[in-house]
Amino acid sequence: MLDLSRIFGRKNNSKDAAKDRLKLVLVHDRANVSPEFLQKIKDEIMQVLAKYMDVSDGGLDINLTTATGEDGKSRVPAITANIPIKSIKQK
């Protein structure tokens, strides 16, 4: 189906930025997660990982974002972690 709103409307307009930023900030507001709390989670994840592999502290990136919920529609909070591994410890 031809969607004229896509032709007439420009992409990347400022309301999309507003929506995206709002969604992210509301995840944090609703989850009521403080930076200290998130830091604590980061530290403990690192402790567990350090038992099995050599990971770099600097490249660590753990964030609260949203994911699609089980019903396939609603947005739910999610933790995403991006942790570069230097080497894996072999037993």
For other proteins, the binding residues in 18-57 under the rule CB under 8 A are 18-19, 21-23, 25-26, 29-30
Q: Does 16 bind other proteins (CB under 8 A)?
A: yes
* H-state helical runs in the chain: 4-8, 14-31, 35-50
Q: How far is the CB of 14 from other proteins (least distance, A)?
A: 5
Residue 67 as a binder of other proteins (CB under 8 A): the answer is no
- The vertex-87 CA angle with 81 and 91, nearest 5°, equals 110
Which of these, 84, 80, 20, 14, lies nearest to 49 by C-alpha position?
A: 84
Query: Using CB under 8 A as the criterion, which residues of the chain lie in contact with other proteins when the complex forms?
Result: 1-5, 8-10, 13-16, 18-19, 21-23, 25-26, 29-30
